[in-house]
Amino acid sequence: MVDIDWILNGHTHLNFEAGIACRLQCGGCMMRHDMKSTEMGWPDRYNIRFESYKVILDTFKNYDFCGNLSDPIYHPDFIKTLEYMKGKNKKMIFHTNGSGKSKTWWTKVFTLCQGEKRWSWTFALDGLPEDSHKYRIKQNGEQVWEMMQLGKSLGANIAWQYIVFKYNQNDIQEANLLAAQYDIKFMEMHSTRWIDDSTTDFGGTGTGVDMTIYKPDEKHHTQPRRKLNDNDKKHSNIIIKTSAPVKRKVEIDPDCLSTKLRKPIMFNSMGYFIPCCEKDQWVDSLRKRGFYEERFHIDNLKTPEDIRNVFLSDVWQNFYDGLFNDPENAPRNCKTFCMKNTNVKSDGAGKDPKGFV
């Protein structure tokens, strides 16, 4: 049995996404191209209100406000959440594109952050401020950069997340120096999403949109965990037999049970806890395994003990037990994303030491 206190009391962040709002139209976003998709659970997603999710804020120690399909700053109860959490000495990381909010709004938010040393902000600005909109469509990068400086001047912990594309890969040094000028942490990140983007396989959007214009060159490209070259196969723990039928011995290194923080468990905008954000779009797969039973919905969880019982349930314990003892029958994308292969999963950040998104 998995030690639940290990999960709740600081081992991992909770990836917390209680909303569905985002103002941008990023080309690589897997969740925003079909807003009516039943496979992705869109009809069941909504802005979960503070009164319902407050019990979660009373339960976990660390939070990562990082959505698959939303941005936390657009949630109607975002400021109410900050006000409730202030002074509770909990770790809070906010990931945002930072666009579309006024200076007055940001001043209020950053003032609430004052004195909260365990709160931090990661702004997604992919390129110099005037160029970020080339990927993050509708983002006002220059205004975002001004608000990042404002946050720093008001004592907030600010980081700049810079995903490398062809249009910005020659500006990395300049951006790094710009961040250093204002004592802002610079985070160079490399994406694995630019593979076969015309289909839904391997992280593609399935929209048919040509993303190659943004594809990083080989120097700036992180090798996906799922893609092994011939040399990798010789040294990996995956054994592929050439005789038919093809059988595999599967070994996985589950992020959700790692002693290092990699992929945390998630609370999603359907109102349920799920093993990690990589499972969020695979609604049918989790439904068949029992994760979306009504008894696990946030409206039926009134106390921290109720939340503990979710993870103590047979559904969750059998899932974790299966990752350890029956990886062959683990969900397909668990086997893909958490494939045990040291060549592409060093420190949970892929072959590329800069990390991947």
The answer to whether 161 touches 191, Cβ cutoff 8 Å, is no
The answer to whether 188 touches 151, Cβ cutoff 8 Å, is no
Higher pLDDT, 271 or 259: 271
Query: What does the DSSP assignment read for 211-240?
Result: -GGG---GGG-PPPTT---HHHHHHSS-EE
Mean pLDDT in residue range 287-313: 96
Task: Out of 51-55, 58-62, 272-276, 353-357, pick the least confident.
Answer: 353-357
Q: Of 234-238, 266-270, 332-336, give the range with the top mean pLDDT.
A: 266-270
Higher pLDDT, 185 or 354: 185
CB atoms within 10 A of CB 274: 23
301 pLDDT more than 70: yes
Q: Which residue has the tokens 């399909």?
A: 69
Higher pLDDT, 221 or 38: 38
Global pTM value = 0.83
Mean pLDDT in residue range 173-188: 96
Using CA atoms, how far residue 333 sits from 109, 202, 203, 226, 328, in Å, is: 37, 10, 11, 10, 12
236 burial level (CB within 10 Å; 0-12, 13-18, 19+): middle
First to last CA, the chain: 31
Residue 278 amino acid letter: E
35 pLDDT more than 50: yes
342 pLDDT more than 60: no
131 pLDDT more than 70: yes
344 pLDDT more than 60: no
Q: What is the DSSP letter of 246?
A: P
Q: What is the DSSP letter of 128?
A: S
- Specify the pLDDT at position 36: 63
Query: What does the DSSP assignment read for 282-317?
Result: -HHHHHHTTTT-GGGSGGG--SHHHHHHHHHSHHHH
Mean pLDDT in residue range 122-127: 96
266 pLDDT more than 90: yes
Cβ-based neighbours of 47, under 8 Å, separated by 6 or more: 18, 19, 20, 21, 75, 76, 77, 269
Using CA atoms, how far residue 214 sits from 47, 136, 161, in Å, is: 32, 12, 17
232 pLDDT more than 50: no
Higher pLDDT, 195 or 304: 304
Confidence of residue 13 (pLDDT cuts 50, 70, 90): confident
Domains and CATH numbers, the chain: 4-348 (3.20.20)
